[in-house]
Structure 1
């Protein structure tokens, strides 16, 4: 890796052909692909450090330990959320080479009375249904669809088959060779340890109408399956974009990375639109000295769903009212900047299980911890080599009774005026209404976590085995925003996800929570379940009705809901007149040479954890940028 000083970076090649702002999930993909041409110079500016061979990043079982640590994490918080009891929620974002692909922004669990163990769900590397990528194109983005992205999914990936000693046929851990890559930079594999809850979880879901899915990467995401995770099975270390895309290419003389460097402003030149971004202003950690570095061709912004709109606004690109309120000179009045914020949210169901069930709770025992540590260090196996692996993607038709589903569709159509404010929002609203009763579009994800996971107010009882289920809303109607509140780049942006602004979001979570109760009441999972912890389900009511009212469940959701931390959409790819920020070639409106590639350009959220999609989109973006230069 380069050890240049800021001054040397600025003077290297008298500036760079491409400046990439943010060496994260997408930024390193772009940098690696553009620098394949030895005649093209690429400079990358990253606010964090390179955590090469860092156990907090590499070891799957340590996922979560880095969160909240400023060496790894921006550690943002939302503004108080008025629809969930005015709670301000943690919003971690990766601050390191590799970005959030290296931390996976997850929650920590602290086991009591032992050496602290921090466990949380890994970042699965799966894909949404074909129709959800085709929706990108339907929203006036020609060339952005499933067929165009599939080749880039494959290009980015090396998929490894399951170890049949760990995963039987009933674990549903299969690979369709037609849709997976075999030689890409990102390694995706199945966990090499599996809880004995997994198969009963799949079997009970099947009895409730949720079938097993042979391979959800094939374009149909609905169903249950063992998930692929970003773990290289040769080392049992996390696979992310720093070791995948940067490390193999770090010796290229035309690829230069400067870490611990915060970009503070884009330098716009010209008398009016379209402006040219001639370079960027930056500072380095521990100093207040400002530097400027020149961009000869283009600046590529890859600062993420929070950082990208922040930098646009600091540079005078955004909604006029926001910029004027922050005392920033308006260069490009672009109202879509920072709007359309979308995220996945979840609530937890927590049960006590039978004593003989295999869960991560075993790590409460110091002796078992030592055994598992040794197993990982010597054989790269065991609990520390992986995290959870059983997931399900469920359409609303499996969770919501038909009359209620019709009511929810009417609610979307007639009682969501906040989705009528722009043309792009109206189009999203129409899609979300159509998708609600379409089985090709999962509305709920369930993650089976074999072990204790904290619901507010709960602590694990020593020696007890637990099963937590993450109940995730995939297509929220609620839309939020992220904006600057001052002209200082060192002030955190105001992040307002507007969680549960739509009653439909809350109602879907109520139904999904009831579904998980039914799941635990269904054999063979029922036979493993001892009691319910949260929600605190009571005995069935005497009249046969629900033991917990919708109102009580709604309050539980408001008081415990958390983001799964997949923010997207804040510099969305739409036509400018419809509220967009970038065109289908990812160029920012009102500029000649400013591009964006990160989660912020996603126009409508997908029913999937987005890392694999962001990487595939960055692979496609690299080809778009190369083609534009060659014209």
Structure 2
């Protein structure tokens, strides 16, 4: 039964009776942007097929601090797993969390809102994609953002205004609300002050979204603090792009619809429609102009390969006839690997571990329901970006660069493109490259089994055993040299593809992560933060982390994901990318990729803003190409 208040969310029968100029596959972070922008023209009809449920106004999604309850929860998360990672000691598949339902991963993410550095996006353009540099993308960053000036709500919520920002770099009328947290980890201020003591480049930048984000600062979150009915709730593609436009008669959204393949013309490589499953039955729907793939980093290449578009060798092994040879489909998969240390607080200091106490949790729930404030209203609120050149000697940088360049010799189609490796090697020598991200995580985390995301959020057992509280500092590799792939191994659309992020396959990645941990430990050993800590609870004293070599070994055994996969259908020149600079799939007409799959090279930061910006620009490209 359809909801009369949500007319765009239609039944199967209603969806099939319409004709569509464009069909968007995936109603996630990017897909709902595409649907909203294309239907601004009342003469353009758009259909959206989403494989997951709707989850409209679901409290687990809308309440910012409850995101951990959706991770690997089959109602909200596809719950993918990697193949065994050759670069890690832990010879187990790793959980890969991806949002299941309208909003995609924007509905279950940590809500931390970063933009990355100018050089990240200039590298996209340098890889053969003109118009994708930072200057060209800045209007699209601002277009999707609705920045809430903290001076308007800091005094109302009785919080100190300790952050630095420049309003000129932010949008104030976009669909996605961004704000600074009104509840912060009590130790956040001391962490930022301790970081600043490590050197000039570790203090807060003027504005971490200006394209220069080097330093330690209070982060924005995609949380609505505009004072309206959405106050204190998650702002994501559903609230920003779908619900305000749900009355449009030219927009039709069908959930629980799994796209199984594209339909191509018999005599030429052109897409005419697609096949999907709904309610256990297969259906075909035609498209007048174009199919837009926004199914996500794992499902977008899967759909292309199931349709016979991809590497002929991969398709043959999976039992799929090759209709369009495009060897870059599914290649170049990149993610942010992450590891961390756990720190226990002195008695009297609090973290989100306090919510394990039923009375405290009940009080927090009452506060949130009454005022949309308190610990349940908070997302990721503090981070640091560090240039490798600020913590390594010139000789150490030269050694790292040489190892990266040496890895190019004899390299085949797999892994990061040689041109991309050269760009990263050059950037590592720059004091403006935020190659290491440190994230302040507001609870004691269980890092003993990084293959399981559920256990990761379960809390450290040793800390819990004596009623202690803690938090963690995560070291994340922002610009990895390792890159993997995602490919089908079967013609069955209900079988997950083989996901191989190739974590730490290049040894240099493990070293840089280890150097990030060294900095995290220095932060913890510096006043005024050190006075708030009992010490490190993870790793324990039996683990040798006193040397770089010891840390590298620790990293190889305790690395997981920061949930930022991208680039599995990356844009680039023909033969180097799966799609061109206008996001059109090489070798076939009528299909375009508009999601994180198309990003050619990782960005230094949480990726949701980059995906929104890419989607906004992608919509303009579609409109230009079709004259709509």
Same fold (TM over 0.5): yes
Of the three residues 93, 108, 126, the one matched with 2:98 is 93
Q: Can you list the C-alpha shifts for 1:258-303, whole angstroms capped at 9, x where unaligned?
A: 011000010011424xx1110010011x41x110001001110001
Query: Partners of 2:334 and 2:285 in 1: how far apart?
Result: 33
Q: Can you list the C-alpha shifts for 1:222-252, whole angstroms capped at 9, x where unaligned?
A: 1111111011113211000011100011111
How far has the Cα of 1:589 moved from its partner? Answer: 1.0
Pairing 1:489–2:493 present: yes
Query: Partners of 2:38 and 2:58 in 1: how far apart?
Result: 27
How far has the Cα of 1:537 moved from its partner? Answer: 4.7
Q: Can you list the C-alpha shifts for 1:474-526, whole angstroms capped at 9, x where unaligned?
A: 11111100000011101100001111101100111122112211211111111
Task: Give the 5 Å matches for 1:440-455.
Answer: 440-455=432-447
Contact conserved, 1:424 with 1:574, CA < 8 A, in 2?
Answer: no
Contact conserved, 1:399 with 1:512, CA < 8 A, in 2?
Answer: no
Distance 1:5 1:377, change over 3 A: closer
Of the three residues 609, 626, 629, the one matched with 2:626 is 629
Pairing 1:254–2:253 present: no
Query: Partners of 2:267 and 2:29 in 1: how far apart?
Result: 34
Contact conserved, 2:117 with 2:213, CA < 8 A, in 1?
Answer: yes
Contact conserved, 1:358 with 1:450, CA < 8 A, in 2?
Answer: no
Query: Partners of 1:388 and 1:593 in 2: how far apart?
Result: 39
Q: What secondary structure does 2:22 align onto? A: strand
TM normalised by structure 2 equals 0.92
Query: Partners of 2:593 and 2:140 in 1: how far apart?
Result: 18
Query: Partners of 1:420 and 1:488 in 2: how far apart?
Result: 28
Contact conserved, 1:409 with 1:436, CA < 8 A, in 2?
Answer: yes
2:349 corresponds to which residue? 357
Contact conserved, 1:538 with 1:547, CA < 8 A, in 2?
Answer: no
How far has the Cα of 1:367 moved from its partner? Answer: 1.4
Of the three residues 310, 315, 322, the one matched with 2:314 is 322
1:479 corresponds to which residue? 483
2:454 corresponds to which residue? none
TM normalised by structure 1 equals 0.92
Of the three residues 180, 183, 186, the one matched with 2:170 is 180
Q: What secondary structure does 2:301 align onto? A: helix
Query: Partners of 2:224 and 2:173 in 1: how far apart?
Result: 12
Contact conserved, 1:572 with 1:582, CA < 8 A, in 2?
Answer: yes
Q: What secondary structure does 2:27 align onto? A: coil
Point out the more displaced range, 426-435 or 394-403. 394-403
Distance 1:479 1:424, change over 3 A: closer
How far has the Cα of 1:463 moved from its partner? Answer: 2.5
Of the three residues 564, 568, 571, the one matched with 1:570 is 568
2:452 corresponds to which residue? none
Pairing 1:153–2:141 present: yes
Q: What secondary structure does 2:71 align onto? A: coil
Task: Give the 5 Å matches for 1:124-523.
Answer: 124-162=112-150, 163-165=153-155, 167-169=159-161, 171-172=162-163, 174-209=164-199, 210-233=202-225, 234=227, 235-272=231-268, 275-284=269-278, 286-287=279-280, 289-417=281-409, 421=413, 425-456=417-448, 458-459=460-461, 460-461=463-464, 462-523=466-527
Count of residue correspondences: 599
Q: What secondary structure does 1:137 align onto? A: helix
Q: What secondary structure does 1:183 align onto? A: coil
2:456 corresponds to which residue? none
Point out the more displaced range, 247-256 or 354-363. 354-363
Query: Partners of 1:529 and 1:270 in 2: how far apart?
Result: 67
How far has the Cα of 1:130 moved from its partner? Answer: 1.3
Point out the more displaced range, 74-83 or 311-320. 74-83
Contact conserved, 2:111 with 2:234, CA < 8 A, in 1?
Answer: no
How far has the Cα of 1:87 moved from its partner? Answer: 2.1
How far has the Cα of 1:399 moved from its partner? Answer: 3.0
Point out the more displaced range, 67-76 or 502-511. 67-76
Contact conserved, 2:221 with 2:380, CA < 8 A, in 1?
Answer: no
Contact conserved, 1:161 with 1:175, CA < 8 A, in 2?
Answer: no
Gaps of at least 5 residues in structure 2 are 1-5, 450-459
Of the three residues 583, 587, 591, the one matched with 1:590 is 587
How far has the Cα of 1:3 moved from its partner? Answer: 5.3
Pairing 1:9–2:12 present: no
RMSD after superposition: 1.8
How far has the Cα of 1:215 moved from its partner? Answer: 1.1
Query: Partners of 1:283 and 1:547 in 2: how far apart?
Result: 51
Distance 1:419 1:533, change over 3 A: farther
Distance 1:449 1:281, change over 3 A: same
Point out the more displaced range, 62-71 or 409-418. 409-418
Q: Can you list the C-alpha shifts for 1:113-154, whole angstroms capped at 9, x where unaligned?
A: xxxxxxxxx221220111211111111111111122111111
Query: Partners of 1:239 and 1:512 in 2: how far apart?
Result: 31
1:119 corresponds to which residue? none
Query: Partners of 1:3 and 1:368 in 2: how far apart?
Result: 39
